[in-house]
Structure 1
Amino acid sequence: MDRVPPGQFVTERFPILTYGEEPRIAPEDWRLELEGLVETPLTLTYQDLLALPQVELTRDFHCVTRWSRLDVAWKGMRVKDLLEEARPKPEAVAALVECYGGYTTNLLLEDLLRDDVLLAHTLFGKPLPPERGGPVRLLVPHLYAWKSAKWVRRILLLDHLELGFWERMGYHWRGDPWKEERFQEGPVPAARIRFQALKKPER
């Protein structure tokens, strides 16, 4: 299969797109909270993150504004590992991701549980710079880049779909680049109500 989703062009540049002011969080001040529908709520410091099993991976990065950067090298810990420790409750189907600076985005629990979804702290072998979401950002490489939330600070598990910032502005509720899910057409399925059907993989 072609590595480049439909409607995208490949660039050697790595544009930086940020809505609003850029937060500046020192690593020693960074915290991640994993809360909501979990058996064991967790709070992670930057040193906690570094002490957990780490993963290095290279993935392509696709922005909804139609550029794609291939072979981006990241390092971090799998969100899946953190979720397994927190133990999501059976009714958990989605998450609202909250960031320093006020940005939010929504994800299905099944998307967070993929092996290549990371809490990333390193980019191309160097600490993740603030303008790219440092000290820690979410990496969700199989979806459009707005889902890879910068400056992540909280993951809240829910039994319903709670739309984030861009999703409320008309962006697609999921954002699969291979399906060109750029903007939402028609009603959002089961927004703000429980929806067990979406626990089934789409691809």
Structure 2
Amino acid sequence: MDRVPPGQILTERFPILTYGEEPEVSPEEWRFTLRGLVQEPLTLTYEALLALPQVDLTRDFHCVTRWSRLDVAWRGVRVRDLLEQARPRPEAVAARVESYGGYTTNLLLEDLLKEDVLLAHTLFGQPLPRERGGPVRLVVPHLYAWKSAKWVRTIELLDHLELGFWERMGYHWRGDPWREERFQEGPIPAASLRFRKRYIKT
């Protein structure tokens, strides 16, 4: 199977694209919160994140600006494991992700529940550098890279789809590279989304 989605160009480089200033957050200052429509909200420090079961993951990375980098090696914690702790409520179908610096993006809960979605703190065996979203970023390898929010601080579960920064600017509400979902051309799903898959117990 071809690993490069349609419209993408393979590169050995790993470009850095950031809108606005890069926030400066030390590992000691970093906090992550999983909240919203969950039964057990949780907050993690960097130290607590490192104490959780870790996953080494190598996946391809696809940017909406049409470059793809193969075999990017991450280490971190599965978001699915955190969701199992937090126990999403039955009405939760989507999430609003917020970063230090104010960047936001939206995701479906079923996308967050995929096994290769991480809170990543390590890239190619080294602590994640600031310009790559360190100390911790979200990695959602099956969607375009703008969904993999750098400097992640909050995931809030919702009963509706709330568009993030680039989505409000016209980017696609989901961003599947294999379907070339770069820009929104059709209707956005209504607030009554109810197609959640039951991956975890609630």
- Give the shorter-chain TM-score range: over 0.9
CA distance in 1, matches of 2:20, 2:162: 21
CA distance in 2, matches of 1:101, 1:8: 29
CA distance in 1, matches of 2:59, 2:2: 14
TM-score (norm 2): 0.97
Q: How does 1:24-63 map to 2 (within 5 A)?
A: 24-63=24-63
Which residue does 1:187 correspond to in 2?
187
Residues 162-189 of structure 1 deviation map (CA, whole Å, 9 limit, x = unaligned) = 0000000000000000000000002212
Matched, 1:68 2:84: no
Percent identity among equivalent residues? Answer: 81
SS state at 2:131 partner: helix
Which residue does 2:79 correspond to in 1?
79
Which residue does 1:196 correspond to in 2?
194
Question: Which amino acid in the other structure matches residue 152 of structure 2?
Answer: V
Which residue does 2:130 correspond to in 1?
130
CA distance in 2, matches of 1:100, 1:86: 22
Length, aligned pairs only: 198
What's the CA shift for 1:95?
Answer: 0.2
Gapped regions of structure 1 (runs ≥ 5): none
Which residue does 1:117 correspond to in 2?
117
SS state at 1:27 partner: coil
CA distance in 1, matches of 2:197, 2:175: 16
TM-score (norm 1): 0.96
CA distance in 2, matches of 1:189, 1:75: 33
What's the CA shift for 1:7?
Answer: 0.3
Change (3 A) 1:200 1:52: closer
Matched, 1:140 2:140: yes
What's the CA shift for 1:141?
Answer: 0.1
Which residue does 1:23 correspond to in 2?
23
Q: CA RMSD in A?
A: 1.0
What stretches of structure 1 move > 4 A for 4+ residues in a row?
none
